[in-house]
């Protein structure tokens, strides 16, 4: 980072975004400019985003400003703060500046004796030379550099090639959408823009006419294919011209992760983006999702010139991890999306078996087209095993509650597809054994640290065996003295095994089939 001249108090105003001169990633908001009792000179009171300050804006009993928390505020000398730099200055620092000795000293690995061994980059000069030629630059990443102004638009167009493909700007800094406009006007060939942690339009996709709408990017960047708007506090999507977001004819990926969207109706305003293939909605506040019917589409199209009639017509990836989805209807609705094959539902109540959610095999069986679930590929074998296990599970519940079938819209289809009649699945010798025999072949594998290595056991157990009974059997099988076993079901494609904690549930209840593997751990 280049040394900057000492800033005068006039360089800062209330509400301005600033960063520490020594650490551009440390960003805050100016809350006070002036003297402080008992101290000489002028001071700037800053409320730091990361909450790492010294006080709440009150010093020695005098209130100067109100910080957001008890220790997020501090007073800083003007020479130790930066009001930010221009887009072009950031480019020079990132791609033309020489690395400092301190930065090079930080490049090391630890040896076996825990000593630092310096790392030297092979071909470093050649790479730096290529990056420093702005006329060949295809993309730029400028996080943590304090970009606050675009600089002279004509300078941008003369130094940076108009066919540059991607720009990532600074996080949480005072860089307005108007500044982004200037850059975009000079780089019309941009196909990827990252405005994450950008405080975009203060919690809205578009707000009043006083602020620039993100929709303006559609006019400025006709070729945009990727738009990242993570961690912007977005809770509503408010198109400027109609009830839906229009344009963005080339937009393939829209990233709205880590925002505050709670209503699926807000997402439906994006449903008619005809080229949208990937929609990232991880870590929002969604509780329920659904595929819009014809009436909903008509309402969305009201006042719109769009001729797209099928919602989410090209969407093949929908990431919904870390939301609050807890109903099966939301899961089943994913089958209605015409091309959806890549789905993430992890960290939702509905997929958390520890919170009465459903296991992976049930999700696979209910989702007819899914090919990638929670980041793991669904193989043909896993799909077949999951669907048969699911049918058996539902059949076991129907004996006591015939109305249960209403909760399983794919049950009849899967039962017929796999040739399962009554209690006899006719899938050949490689598939599950006949349930009439009442026995399942189950693999038992010890993984407990103090259990020691024990060979894998394969046992034939009645399908009615409960988890509690299986624990007792494992104590006998593995001769576990004074060790209470803890059981987990290891499923293909699932990154973590599922805890079997309901001691009254039978093997059938939890969907265990032939050749299933149960891990035997120990209670901590």
**DSSP secondary structure, 181-193, as one string:** HHHHHH-TT--EE
pLDDT at 145: 56
Instruction: Pick left, alpha or beta for residue 58 (phi over 0 → left; psi -120 to 50 → alpha; otherwise beta).
Output: beta
pLDDT at 400: 75
Phi–psi pair at 31, nearest 5 degrees: -115, -15
pLDDT at 268: 92
pLDDT at 424: 43
Instruction: Pick left, alpha or beta for residue 303 (phi over 0 → left; psi -120 to 50 → alpha; otherwise beta).
Output: left
Torsion angle, CA of 505/507/512/514, rounded to 10 degrees? 180
Q: Any idea where the domains of the chain sit in the sequence?
A: 16-82, 85-98+123-300+309-384, 439-522
Chain length of the chain: 524
pLDDT at 285: 96
Of the two residues 154 and 363, the one the predictor is more confident about is 363
- The answer to whether 451 and 483 are in contact (CB under 8 A) is yes
Q: In 389-456, where do the E strands start and end?
A: 420-421, 424-425, 439-446
The C-alpha atoms of residue 83 and residue 465 are separated, in whole angstroms, by 69
- The answer to whether 286 and 319 are in contact (CB under 8 A) is no
Q: Is the pLDDT of residue 366 over 90?
A: yes
Q: What's the average model confidence in pLDDT over 106-130?
A: 57
| CATH class of the domain comprising 85-98+123-300+309-384 | alpha beta
CA-nearest of 406, 323, 405, 332 to 363 is: 332
Q: What's the average model confidence in pLDDT over 482-488?
A: 87
pLDDT at 375: 93
pLDDT at 236: 85
Same fold flag, 16-82 and 85-98+123-300+309-384: no
CA angle 333, 513, 499 (to 5 degrees): 75
Q: Is the pLDDT of residue 230 over 90?
A: no
CA distances from 386 to 42, 215, 305, 360, 429 (A): 69, 43, 44, 8, 17
Q: Does domain 16-82 have CATH number 2.30.30.190?
A: yes
Kindly provide the b/e burial profile for residues 120-146, where b requires at least 16 CB atoms within 10 angstroms of the residue's own CB. Answer: eeeeeeeeeeeeeebeebeebebbbbb
Q: Is the pLDDT of residue 203 over 70?
A: no
Say what percent of the chain tops pLDDT 70.
Answer: 67
Specify burial of residue 2 (Cβ count, 10 A radius: 0-12, 13-18, 19+).
exposed
pLDDT in tens, 146-162: 566 656 655 555 555 55
- The answer to whether 26 and 48 are in contact (CB under 8 A) is yes
pLDDT at 297: 74
Q: Is the pLDDT of residue 272 over 70?
A: yes
Q: Please name every residue paired with 255 in a beta bridge, in sequence order, or none if there are none.
A: 228, 280
Work out the mean pLDDT of the chain and round it to a whole number: 77
The C-alpha atoms of residue 390 and residue 458 are separated, in whole angstroms, by 22
Q: What's the average model confidence in pLDDT over 233-262?
A: 84
The C-alpha atoms of residue 170 and residue 17 are separated, in whole angstroms, by 12
For the four alpha carbons of 504, 510, 511 and 515, in that order, the dihedral sign comes to negative
Of the two residues 331 and 449, the one the predictor is more confident about is 331
How is domain 439-522 classified at the CATH fold level? Ubiquitin-like (UB roll) (3.10.20)
The C-alpha atoms of residue 428 and residue 434 are separated, in whole angstroms, by 10
The DSSP H or E segment spanning 117 is strand 116-118
pLDDT in tens, 422-458: 654 434 434 444 444 468 889 999 888 777 677 889 9
CA distances from 342 to 200, 204, 261 (A): 28, 27, 21
Q: Please name every residue paired with 63 in a beta bridge, in sequence order, or none if there are none.
A: 58
CA-nearest of 263, 264, 265, 269 to 244 is: 269
CA-nearest of 375, 508, 500, 346 to 435 is: 508
Question: Could you tell me whether strands 116-118 and 147-149 are parallel, antiparallel, or unpaired per DSSP bridges?
Answer: unpaired
Query: How sure is the predictor about 522, in pLDDT bands with cuts at 50, 70 and 90?
Result: confident
The neighbour count for residue 488, using CB atoms within 10 Å, is 18
DSSP 8-class letter at 428: -
Q: Is the pLDDT of residue 326 over 80?
A: yes
Torsion angle, CA of 242/247/253/257, rounded to 10 degrees? -30
The C-alpha atoms of residue 340 and residue 335 are separated, in whole angstroms, by 8
The C-alpha atoms of residue 131 and residue 146 are separated, in whole angstroms, by 20
């Amino acid at each position: 980072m280049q040394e900057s001249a000492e800033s005068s108090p006039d360089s800062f105003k209330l509400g301005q975004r600033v960063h520490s001169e020594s650490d551009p990633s440390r960003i805050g908001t100016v809350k006070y400019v002036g003297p402080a009792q008992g101290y000489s000179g002028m001071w700037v009171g800053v409320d730091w985003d990361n909450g790492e300050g010294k006080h709440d804006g009150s010093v020695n009993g005098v209130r100067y400003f109100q910080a957001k928390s008890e220790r997020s505020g501090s007073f800083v000398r003007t020479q130790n703060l930066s009001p930010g730099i221009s887009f072009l200055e950031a480019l020079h620092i990132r791609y033309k500046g020489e690395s400092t000795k301190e930065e090079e000293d930080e490049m090391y690995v630890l040896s076996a004796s825990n000593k630092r061994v310096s790392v030297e980059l092979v071909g470093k000069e050649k790479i730096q030379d290529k990056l420093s030629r702005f006329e060949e630059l295809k993309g730029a990443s400028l996080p943590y550099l304090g970009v606050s102004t675009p600089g002279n638009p004509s300078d941008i167009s003369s130094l940076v090639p108009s066919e540059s493909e991607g720009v990532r700007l600074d996080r949480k800094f005072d860089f307005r959408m108007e500044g982004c406009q200037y850059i975009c006007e000079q780089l019309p060939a941009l196909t990827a823009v990252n405005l994450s942690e950008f405080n975009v339009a203060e919690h809205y996709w578009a707000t009043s006419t006083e602020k620039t709408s993100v929709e303006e990017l559609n006019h400025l960047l006709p070729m945009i294919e990727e738009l990242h708007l993570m961690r912007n506090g977005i809770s509503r999507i408010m198109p400027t011209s109609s009830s839906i977001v229009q344009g963005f004819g080339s937009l393939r990926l829209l990233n709205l992760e880590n925002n505050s969207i709670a209503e699926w109706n807000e997402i439906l305003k994006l449903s008619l983006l005809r080229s949208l293939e990937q929609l990232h909605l991880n870590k929002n506040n969604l509780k329920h999702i659904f595929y819009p019917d014809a009436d909903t589409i008509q309402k969305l199209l009201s006042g719109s010139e769009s001729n797209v009639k099928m919602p989410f017509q090209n969407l093949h990836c929908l990431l919904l991890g870390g939301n609050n989805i807890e109903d099966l209807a939301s899961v089943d609705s994913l089958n209605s999306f015409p091309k959806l094959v890549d789905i993430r539902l992890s960290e939702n109540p509905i997929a958390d078996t520890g919170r009465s959610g459903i296991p992976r095999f049930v999700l696979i069986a209910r989702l007819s087209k899914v090919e990638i679930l929670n980041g793991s590929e669904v193989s043909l074998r896993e799909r077949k095993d999951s669907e048969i296990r699911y049918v058996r599970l539902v059949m076991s519940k129907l004996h006591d509650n015939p109305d249960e079938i209403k909760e399983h819209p794919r049950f009849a289809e899967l039962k017929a597809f796999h040739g399962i009649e009554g209690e006899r699945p006719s899938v050949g010798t490689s598939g599950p054994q006949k349930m009439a025999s009442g026995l399942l072949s189950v693999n038992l594998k010890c993984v407990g640290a103090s259990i020691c290595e024990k060979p894998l056991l394969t046992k034939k157990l009645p399908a009615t065996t409960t988890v509690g009974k299986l624990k007792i059997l494992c104590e006998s099988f593995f001769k576990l003295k004074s060790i209470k076993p803890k059981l987990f079901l290891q499923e293909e494609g699932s990154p973590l095994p599922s805890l079997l904690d309901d001691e009254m549930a039978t093997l059938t209840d939890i969907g265990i089939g032939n050749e299933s593997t149960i891990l035997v751990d120990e209670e901590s």
